[in-house]
Amino acid sequence: MTSSESDVEDYMSMKFDSAPSTLLSNEEKRDVESKERGFQPSQKTLEYENFKKAISESVSERSAGSKKALEMMKKMGYKSGSALGVEEKEEEEPLYVEKKQDKGGIGYENDKKRRLEDIIKEERLDIEKQTKSINEFSTEKSKEYLEKKLANQCSSAQRVLEKLETNELEKSGLEMTAEKAHPYYRSLLLRKEQDLEERVKRKRLASRVPLAQLETASGSDVPEQLESEPTKMDKEFHYFESLTELEKLSTVLLYLRRKYFYCLYCGFSYDNLEDLETNCPGVYEDDHD
């Protein structure tokens, strides 16, 4: 074999390393080559390397000086490897796809549901109005019933007071009239005289007899008061008539108890004030239940 043939054979028998490079990037390759050649990387390259190292490092791998902050975050619920903030909960059940079974267009069911809700709302408002009206009516009726009941009790107390004072006046040989009556029951006598006047007028119209010639049922002449209705009332009478039914009733009841030791609901007079206060349950009807 000649020298030239030996050279060719050696060239042809050469082996090349075909293993892939372990370098990840050209940038890293240049860094390695620079180090091999003894060159230092630039400041920009160093900053970039430090940045990559910092972001790839977890909080738990930081220096011991930051461990206090990490411990504090763990006490607040932080877990290593998780993100800060409120954890989002995924849907536990997938959305249900409802298949249409009718021929209604898109939005028809929503419109139908909205109309139904409007109808229900209107009906509810009507029910509330009716309930309010019923409650107001019941309240008004209850108020009217109570006022009527108090008025009846007040009239009963006034009649008792009239009878007691008329008996006292007759013992003195005097006759009870509206002008002499106590303001607490004067209205009763005025109504009696007005009723008597009306009966006399009707009787006169029926018989066409002058009023002066008519006689009352008792045989006495028509009182002079009937010819002109009394117009002067004392202040106490006007004040009493301006009171409510409850105030009128209370006034007459207390007057009966104080002057005559009488209780309307017991139905009789006690011997004295001490006897009344000891044995009578109270002033009002509720006290006697």
What digits encode the pLDDT tens for the residues 177-199?
A: 777 788 888 888 888 888 888 88
The encoded tokens of residue 19 equal 């293993």
pLDDT digits (tens, 9 = 90+) for 123-170: 788 777 777 777 777 787 788 888 888 899 999 999 999 899 888 888
- List the domain boundaries for the chain: 119-288
Torsion-angle region of residue 216: left (phi > 0), alpha (psi -120 to 50) or beta?
beta
More confident residue, 252 or 8: 252
Query: pLDDT value at position 100?
Result: 64
DSSP string for the chain? --HHHHHHHHHHT-----PPP----HHHHHHHHHHHTTPPPPHHHHHHHHHHHHHTS-GGGS-GGGHHHHHHHHHTT--TTS-SSPPPPPPSSPPP-PPP-S---TTHHHHHHHHHHHHHHHHHHHHHHHHHHHHHHHHHHHHHHHHHHHHHHHHHHHHHHHHHHHHHHHHTT----TTTS-TTTHHHHHHHHHHHHHHHHHHHHHHT--GGG-B-TTSSBPPGGGTS------HHHHHHHTS-HHHHHHHHHHHHHHHH-EETTTTEE-SSHHHHHHH---SSGGGG-
Q: Are 168 and 269 in contact (CB under 8 A)?
A: no
Residues 6+ apart with CB under 8 A from 176: 162, 165, 166, 169, 170, 189
Whole-Å CA distances, 236 to 7, 222, 240, 264:
154, 28, 6, 23
pLDDT digits (tens, 9 = 90+) for 105-117: 666 667 777 888 8
Query: pLDDT value at position 96?
Result: 61
Query: Is 60 exceeded by the pLDDT of residue 119?
Result: yes
pLDDT band at 254 (very low <50, low <70, confident <90, very high): very high
251, 245, 240, 283: which is closest to 144 by C-alpha? 245
Query: Is 70 exceeded by the pLDDT of residue 91?
Result: no
pLDDT band at 256 (very low <50, low <70, confident <90, very high): very high
pLDDT band at 230 (very low <50, low <70, confident <90, very high): very low
Q: Are 171 and 282 in contact (CB under 8 A)?
A: no
- CB atoms closer than 10 angstroms to residue 193: 17
pLDDT digits (tens, 9 = 90+) for 13-67: 656 555 555 545 677 777 777 666 666 667 787 888 877 776 666 555 554 455 6
pLDDT band at 226 (very low <50, low <70, confident <90, very high): very low
Average pLDDT, the chain: 74
**Mean pLDDT within 118-125:** 80
More confident residue, 284 or 60: 284
Torsion-angle region of residue 232: left (phi > 0), alpha (psi -120 to 50) or beta?
beta
The encoded tokens of residue 218 equal 């008792």
